[in-house]
Amino acid sequence: MFNRHSGIIAALAFSLVAVQPAFAASQDKYDLPEPFLSMEKTYLKETPDLQKVMDVMIATEERQVKDPTQDILHNRLCAAFVYKMAMDQKMPAADRRLALAGDILHNIAKEEKESVLTNPGQLSKARDMVARLRKAGYLKNSPNFWNDESVFTNPKIGDNHALIHNITGAVMAGDLLRQVGGYSDGEIATIEAAVVEHSTGYWYFRASIDKAAGKKGAWETVYPEPENDIAKFTHDADLISQFVPESVVPDGSKWRGLAKKRWGAKTPQEEGHIVYYVFQRLFDEAKTPSGKEMARERWNQIAPALIKLMGLKEGDDPIKILGVPSVFAS
């Protein structure tokens, strides 16, 4: 499917600016809050060719889903986090450009219906990409990555976009960047490696892989460890983006909804208990000093509100008092 559409995607993306007023960019109709909008404007001014990557991302998301607003804002928010981390840690401009391009595209296959690894064509493309990356010196710290293709052909894993979009997304990001132009094969490989390494910190994804595969450690076949700063920033930005209080704390928020639908919470107290446990463990997964600092800052806002939701007192330790939520205890 992707090969049939790749040219159309690129052509549509490049036409977006032309059909709008000269002052408008493709992302302007999706309101990104401050301070993230100012960060985005700064990095696009510093590196104007990233606008083409932004255009392709937006055109792709608009094709994939009826209302792409949240997906587009997530990608832009993550890229802003990458920019902040890169500036905090004084990343060279050339590396910063690659980190930003990769992060804009890190979720690009999550809603691409045919980008599943039970699809033999997609599996073959992913296999070829992994071989290329290993030959180029990437993935050396993850010897078990891609060591058992039966994990990917298991429909509970290979058909689950959330679990495998790091791999299909890396393939698709590479294809899109070749369409955009201006990126060497070596630069594209760096970006592909960063995208394929961005999901490792989600401990509940790791647990889901092991459960579906029926063996401990199966997740290592799916999630390689981030090895360089570009990959670590991509990893941490996605992780930190989950720590937005508005998506965690209020009734009906994304994470309280997941506590009910994915993990079986029946009451607001159970929602708070589950979400607290999930995020307490997520916090420890950040890979960079800047990422850890931003995660800590947001966790300090979220934790007290979740403790209150559970009916506990300020300063209480919910895990000591209530234990591990039963859904995670086995």
pLDDT exceeds 90 at position 22: no
| 189 vs 85: CA distance, rounded Å | 21
Q: Which of 212, 220, 211, 225 is nearest to 285 (CA)?
A: 225
Instruction: List, for residues 64-76, the tens digit of each pLDDT value.
Output: 999 999 999 999 9
- Kindly indicate the confidence band of residue 18, based on its pLDDT and cuts at 50, 70 and 90: very low
- Residue 88 clears pLDDT 90, i.e. is over it: yes
Q: Euclidean distance between the first and final Cα of the chain, in Å?
A: 40
- Pick the closest to residue 288 from 133, 1, 86 (CA basis): 86
Average pLDDT value over all residues in the chain: 92
What is the band of 330 on the pLDDT scale with cuts at 50, 70, 90? low
Query: d(Cα 97, Cα 108) in Å, to the nearest integer?
Result: 18
- How many whole angstroms separate alpha carbon 229 and alpha carbon 95? 9
pLDDT at 9: 46
Percent of all residues in the chain with a pLDDT value above 70, rounded to a whole number: 93
| Assigned token pair, 244 | 């937005």
Q: Name the token pair of 150.
A: 């039966």
DSSP code of residue 27: G
The pTM of the full predicted model, rounded to 2 decimals, is: 0.88
**What's residue 284's pLDDT?**
85
How many whole angstroms separate alpha carbon 66 and alpha carbon 162?
Answer: 18
Decide if pLDDT at 1 tops 90: no
Upper half-sphere CA count for residue 41 (Cβ side, 13 Å): 11
Please identify which residue in the block is written with the tokens 């960019």.
25
Instruction: Give 244's pLDDT tier (boundaries 50, 70, 90).
Output: confident
pLDDT-wise least confident of 171-175, 287-291, 326-330? 326-330
pLDDT in tens, 91-141: 999 999 999 999 999 999 999 999 999 999 999 999 999 999 999 999 999
| pLDDT tier for residue 329 given thresholds of 50, 70 and 90 | confident
